[in-house]
Amino acid sequence: MRMTVWAGLVWLVAATAAPAQRMSPPFGSRVQVTFAGQPARNGELLAIDKDSMWLLQPHGLASVPLSEVAQVRVDRGGMGAKGAMVWSLVAGVVSGAALSGACSSIEGSDCSGIFVLSVGVWSLVGLLSAPSLQNARYQTLTSPQPDELRARARFPQGLPAGMARDSLGTPRGSQP
């Protein structure tokens, strides 16, 4: 009986995860492009040509000459520092509440500090892991070459010929 339950749970997890992976459309990385003496531009890295990069921004498509780019900050995804802190606080509150509930069910036990201790330990773990998760999320490229950026673009070979540029819409994660 237990084996059937475990097999059913494994099948359920596999069946729900596989379609989500297959159905995710390809997008380029979110980037922030910095120029010398000009304001930075944000958008999806759409394509790389031999001398320019194409960004999909909320207001449309923009071509950026690579010779004018000082730095590109690539968002590689992941939770970052803020996510680490939120998850550690949630884990601290949930485990603290569970431990306090379990401890209070024992007659004559002193459980007064278990919640605070649990939240404190989990917060410390989140605080210590936040800087490394933040560094892992973002990659900064100074004076980037086209080959460094191609792997992060939606169209690494350049914009497809005859593509209707207005058909791209707005980039994911942006408000119109």
Per-residue pLDDT tens for 96-135? 999 988 888 888 778 888 899 999 999 999 999 988 888 8
Per-residue pLDDT tens for 71-98? 999 888 778 888 889 999 999 999 999 9
> In percent, how much of the chain has pLDDT > 90?
18
Which one, of 60, 46, 53, lies nearest residue 169 by Cα? 60
* pLDDT at residue 15, rounded to an integer: 59
Per-residue pLDDT tens for 9-24? 666 666 555 554 455 5
How do the domains of the chain map onto residue ranges? 26-77+138-168, 80-136
Global pTM value = 0.63
Residue 78 one-letter amino acid: G
Residue 25 one-letter amino acid: P
Angstrom distance (rounded) from CA 34 to CA 42: 9
State the CATH architecture for 26-77+138-168: Roll (2.30)
